[in-house]
Amino acid sequence: MQPEERCFVTPEAVRVSSLVGTPEEIIEQVRQLEKNGIKEINLLPAADYQKNVWRDFAEMVMPAFR
């Protein structure tokens, strides 16, 4: 991130553009997105963390939607 862009990365900006929080909070965020008509989401974690993020999402979030 460029130093002059840091002022735009606020907690509110992160909340409205990302899925962040505990598994329970992320489940609620996804449910709200569904209510708002969203049909798909993309998980784009940093390359160094992809395997762990995808595993955690599959194990801790996805079961709530099966």
Domain that holds residue 44: 3-65
Task: Work out how many domains the chain is built from and give that number.
Answer: 1
Pick from 13, 17, 16, 22: which is nearest to 57 by CA?
22
- Kindly report, residue by residue over 11-66, the tens digit of the pLDDT: 998 888 899 999 999 999 999 999 999 999 999 999 999 999 999 999 999 999 98
Instruction: Determine the angle formed by the axes of helices 23-35 and 50-60, rounding to 10 degrees.
Output: 70
- Kindly report, residue by residue over 9-24, the tens digit of the pLDDT: 999 988 888 999 999 9
Return the pLDDT at 39: 94
Q: What is the dihedral of CA 53, 42, 30, 17, to 10 degrees?
A: 100
